[in-house]
Amino acid sequence: MTPGWQQEIESRLHGLQNGHEDILHARMVLEKNRHHKKGPRIATARLVCNVRGATFTASKTEKTFEEAIRGTFLAMREELQSYREKRKTRARTESARRAPLRARR
């Protein structure tokens, strides 16, 4: 992997955090497939992110690694946004369900 790609991947990972600090571990895999039936799409990027309570995987196959990396991070951003919104909603619902404690006499 070239240092330029590594820097881009690291900066995009920091962008995925976006003030949440919930990504525990992330791994990026770049693969080149030379199979004749794949056609021009030979670059595959796969991103696996472990967050508190879940593991997400995003993968894209494109003509170049740059396109594959970009598409993979866009897909992962959508997954994480959806997960974070569901987690917020669940936390609000659970806190609303709790009955206030009565003062004992």
Is pTM, for the whole model, over 0.85?
no
Domains of the chain in start order, with CATH, are: 3-97 (3.30.160.100)
Place of tokens 């796969």: 46
pLDDT at 87: 85
| Predicted confidence pLDDT, tens digits, the chain (105 residues) | 678 888 989 999 999 887 788 899 999 999 988 776 667 778 999 999 999 889 999 999 999 999 999 999 999 999 999 998 888 887 777 666 665 666 655
Per-residue burial over 59-95, b if 16 or more Cβ lie within 10 Å, else e, is bbbbeebeebbbbbbebbeebbeebeeebeeeeeeee
